[in-house]
């Protein structure tokens, strides 16, 4: 692109900024409900509802889920992503509950798809809600082992496919899991199942409130640096993205969001496939906490941050603020 700009004073770039109507006409990016995906925490009836570090976000029991999804549908949001709070008694070394076709996620998925067939349903593929050590994969002698983890994740993906989810989102960062899941899906006849690959998922401090919501932070042994990416790296993210696409991913995820806008932009430049971004729990909590202290205007700050994802090149954004923002935005339907 050539940057043809006349010299000042012929060119005054402020001319186009002087009125609101004109700013709207020259705006390069817009945010609409079509850009938003809401992560939803679910729980059994007896589990706690509030999440201390995430004011305004709750764990929903199955009976609360239907009215809640109705509200989501009415807001125009196209898809939700489910995350379970598993009762501690059901967590074990191997995360076996992940493979139970009647686990919380599967029951919620069937309920949602029966009631709201046209609400997109995304399910996470990773073992952390189910393991007693809080890791996303299988732990052997203190190591998260790759190939053994992939085997279990493939089974987990199939169980969730059977429960009727629309998109499988492996967030585990094991090598080769996209290809293995794709192969198993094809063999079982799920040839149209979408895979949203968490390709560039960083070992980030911004996941803290999410781990509290899942109840996995207090149990997590060590850290996730042997499988999630080093925040120092960007070229490696391109290799991850390319590999996931080669293995059959339909969409790529960058996570966290705002601190990694450069990665979203690089993905947008490098790949012609949809790029999603995740405005993670810590990003939400920061904005909420500062606004609760009167230090930030929450609505303005969250809208600005979501628009930044669009500017960087994201097709859609996971955000805990999605519902409140969607209810404020008007759907753009063309």
Minimum CB separation of residue 148 from ligand PBG in Å reads: 17
Q: Of these residues, 201, 224, 288, 310, which one is catalytic?
A: 201
Minimum CB separation of residue 9 from ligand PBG in Å reads: 48
- Chain residue at closest Cβ approach to ligand PBG: 210
Minimum CB separation of residue 67 from ligand PBG in Å reads: 23
Nearer Cβ to ligand PBG (13/41): 41
Contacts 24+ apart (CB under 8 A), 284-289: 284/54, 284/57, 284/209, 284/319, 284/320, 284/321, 285/53, 285/54, 285/208, 285/209, 287/321, 288/54, 288/55, 288/56
Mark whether 188 is an active-site residue: no
Dihedrals φ, ψ of 125, to 5°? Answer: -115, 105
Q: Of these residues, 78, 224, 255, 310, which one is catalytic?
A: 255
- The number of C-alpha atoms within 13 Å of 252 and in the hemisphere containing its C-beta is 31
Nearer Cβ to ligand PBG (206/271): 206
Minimum CB separation of residue 175 from ligand PBG in Å reads: 16
Nearer Cβ to ligand PBG (171/199): 171
Q: How far is CA 236 from CA 19, 102, 279, 303, 332, in A?
A: 44, 38, 21, 30, 36
Mark whether 255 is an active-site residue: yes
Query: Beta-carbon neighbour count of residue 210 at 10 Å?
Result: 25
Nearer Cβ to ligand PBG (151/270): 151
> What angle in degrees, to the nearest 10, is found between the helix axes of 146-162 and 104-115?
30
Binding residues for ligand PBG (CB under 6 A): 124, 126, 128, 136, 171, 207, 210-211, 224, 280-281
Confirm if 82 and 40 have CB atoms less than 8 A apart.
Answer: yes
Known catalytic residues?
201, 255
């Amino acid at each position: 692109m050539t940057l043809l700009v006349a010299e000042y004073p012929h060119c005054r770039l402020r001319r186009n900024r002087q009125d609101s109507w004109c700013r709207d006409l020259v705006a390069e990016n817009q945010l609409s409900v079509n850009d938003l995906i809401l992560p939803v925490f679910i729980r059994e009836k007896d589990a706690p509802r509030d999440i201390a570090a995430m004011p305004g976000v709750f764990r929903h029991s199955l009976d609360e889920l239907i009215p809640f999804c109705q509200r989501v549908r009415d807001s125009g949001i196209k898809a939700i992503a489910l995350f379970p709070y598993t009762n501690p008694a059901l967590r074990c070394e191997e995360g076996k509950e992940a493979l139970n076709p009647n686990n919380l996620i599967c029951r919620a998925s069937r309920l949602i798809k029966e009631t709201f067939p046209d609400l997109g349903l995304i399910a996470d593929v990773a073992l952390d809600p189910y393991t007693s050590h809080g890791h996303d994969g299988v732990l052997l002698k203190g190591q998260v082992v790759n190939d053994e983890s992939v085997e279990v994740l493939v089974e987990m993906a199939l169980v969730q496919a059977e429960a009727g989810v629309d998109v499988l989102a492996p967030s585990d960062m094991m090598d080769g899991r996209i290809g293995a899941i794709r192969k198993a899906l094809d063999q079982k006849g799920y040839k149209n199942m979408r895979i949203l690959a968490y390709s560039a998922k960083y070992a980030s401090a911004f996941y803290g409130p999410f781990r509290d919501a899942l109840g996995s932070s207090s149990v997590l042994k060590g850290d996730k640096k042997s499988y999630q990416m080093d925040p120092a790296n960007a070229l490696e993210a391109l290799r991850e993205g390319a590999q996931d696409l080669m293995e059959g991913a339909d969409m790529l995820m960058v996570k966290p969001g705002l601190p990694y806008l450069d990665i979203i932009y690089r993905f947008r430049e490098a790949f012609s496939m949809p790029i999603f971004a995740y405005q993670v729990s810590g990003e939400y909590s920061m904005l909420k906490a500062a606004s609760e202290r009167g230090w930030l205007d929450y609505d303005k700050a969250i809208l600005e941050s979501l628009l930044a994802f669009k500017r960087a090149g994201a097709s859609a954004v996971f955000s805990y603020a999605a519902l409140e923002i969607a209810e404020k935005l008007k759907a753009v339907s063309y």
